[in-house]
Amino acid sequence: MTPATELPPLTDLYTDLHAHPELSLAETRTAGIVAERLRAVGCTVDTGVGGTGVVGVLDRGDGPTVLLRADMDALPVAEQTGLPYRSTVTTVTPDGREVPVMHACGHDMHTAALLGAVAELAADTAWSGRALAVFQPAEELGTGAAAMVADGLFERFGTPDVVLGQHVAPLPAGVLGVQPGPAFAGSDALTIRLYGRGGHGSRPETTIDPVVLAAAVILRLQTIVSREVAGAETAVLTVGSVHAGTAPNIIPDTAELTVGIRTFTPQVRDRILTAIERIVRAECAASGAEREPEFTSTHSFPPLVNDGEGARATAAALAAGVPGIRVIEPGPVTGSEDVGGFATASGAPLVYWILGGADPSLFAGARDEEDIARIVAEQPSNHSPFFAPVIEPTLGIGVAALRTAALHWLAR
């Protein structure tokens, strides 16, 4: 076991994690580093939970059980930040594709901040209870939380009294966003396979072109949110990928689309899913397709809903306990998170907040909330190849926020 005093500083850990990202369910190097650091500060550690998940436990006897969660996986994105610690990693996916890998959503920041918070909790002898540090795989697939629960997370490590966590975003560093109630959208992902009839590109009249069919479907799907969802409701529909064909002179037999949907209510979700199927089937019929389309759900999880009372109390504790920060209610965001699965499965309240990660100097001239919103919109967002939180003060605030929130609940 490496002594805690011999571990790399937290900033070095963060840059190392950023330079060595791993895709969902392949977070083996990251999990090994996490386990080593947890053991070094005195945690009881279990690995391989829900696949590649890691759980560290600090047990101080009677008192509340607080679950602190960070996700570890990266994305198939080619980093373009130009940072000296940028990722140049590529990997081969289970289906044989070589892809670039980048921490384009900030999960490296989440992991480093939670490790720092656990180290500070381990050094603090003034609290009692149990702190569960849960390092989750496969958040980007929307399956990691459910996999850890199915692997006996609560039976093995105890049922929490609260679930806490944070997500870095391009708000200015120094701002924490705590939204009571619905805070992040629910997410659904579909793969849609369209069937045509292939042939020579010079004789399209002998074919049923699935590329033209796919184009018609893509355009028509965009009318769902604009024409079938009320203006007072919120939804997002994105066609994230299109795959068809191999050469310019071949009309292929099939085309495949992947579609992402973000909603906040079951009613809007059902309306959108129904409309997608109706439109796709109608466009296939209009194109003369001889085979019905196929729809495959690749993930589905509900909106993230913060406990109202818990969120307000935690926000007050953060405002009082983390020097130099500003706590706001940012409103619901259309990004999605599966951390709510821990709260739902355990029956515990959830408090999950946004950790500002944009360089605060960029906001120096902002006069009001409208100016701040405009500057935020100009920053590279999560999943962008240019997304790169400024290390400090983001990391230090992330550590302090997790520690402060945990101590608020452990003190009860």
pLDDT of residue 4: 64
Question: Per the annotation, does 107 bind a ligand?
Answer: yes
pLDDT of residue 370: 85
pLDDT of residue 371: 86
pLDDT of residue 3: 66
Domain 186-301 has CATH 3.40.50.2300: no
**148-152-155 Cα angle (round to 5):** 135
Residues whose CB falls within 8 Å of the CB of residue 17, separated by 6 or more in sequence, listed in order: 30, 33, 103, 108, 111, 112
First to last CA, the chain: 33
pLDDT of residue 112: 98
**Rg of the chain in Å (alpha carbons):** 23
The secondary structure of 286-348, three-state, reads HHCCCCCCEEEEEEEECCEEECHHHHHHHHHHHHHHCCCCEEECCCCECCCCCCHHHHHHHCC
Collapse the DSSP code of 4 into the 3-class scheme (helix H, G, I; strand E, B; otherwise coil) and give the result.
Answer: helix
pLDDT of residue 412: 66
Torsion angle (degrees, nearest 10) of CA 30, 33, 35, 39: -160
Cα–Cα distance, 131 to 402 (Å, whole number):
11
Torsion angle (degrees, nearest 10) of CA 343, 162, 150, 398: 90
- Which pair of tokens denotes residue 187? 């997410």
pLDDT of residue 366: 81
Question: Per the annotation, does 383 bind a ligand?
Answer: no
Cα–Cα distance, 117 to 342 (Å, whole number):
20
Question: Per the annotation, does 284 bind a ligand?
Answer: no
CATH of the structural domain 4-183+304-410, one choice from 3.40.50.720, 3.40.228.10, 3.40.630.10, 1.10.1060.10: 3.40.630.10
Q: Where in the chain is the domain with CATH 3.30.70.360?
A: 186-301
Cα–Cα distance, 224 to 190 (Å, whole number):
15
Along the 412 residues of the chain, how does pLDDT read in single tens digits? 566 666 679 999 999 999 999 999 999 999 999 999 999 999 999 999 999 999 999 999 999 999 999 999 999 999 999 999 999 999 999 989 999 999 999 999 999 999 999 999 999 999 999 999 999 999 999 999 999 999 999 999 999 999 999 999 999 999 999 999 999 999 999 999 999 999 999 999 999 999 999 999 999 999 999 999 999 999 999 999 999 999 999 999 999 999 999 999 999 999 999 999 999 999 999 999 999 999 999 999 899 999 999 999 999 999 999 999 999 999 999 999 999 999 999 999 999 999 999 999 999 888 778 888 899 999 999 999 999 999 999 999 999 999 999 999 997 6
Collapse the DSSP code of 164 into the 3-class scheme (helix H, G, I; strand E, B; otherwise coil) and give the result.
Answer: strand
Question: Per the annotation, does 105 bind a ligand?
Answer: yes
Model pTM score: 0.91
Of the candidates 274, 269, 294, 281, the one whose C-alpha atom is nearest the C-alpha of residue 216 is: 281
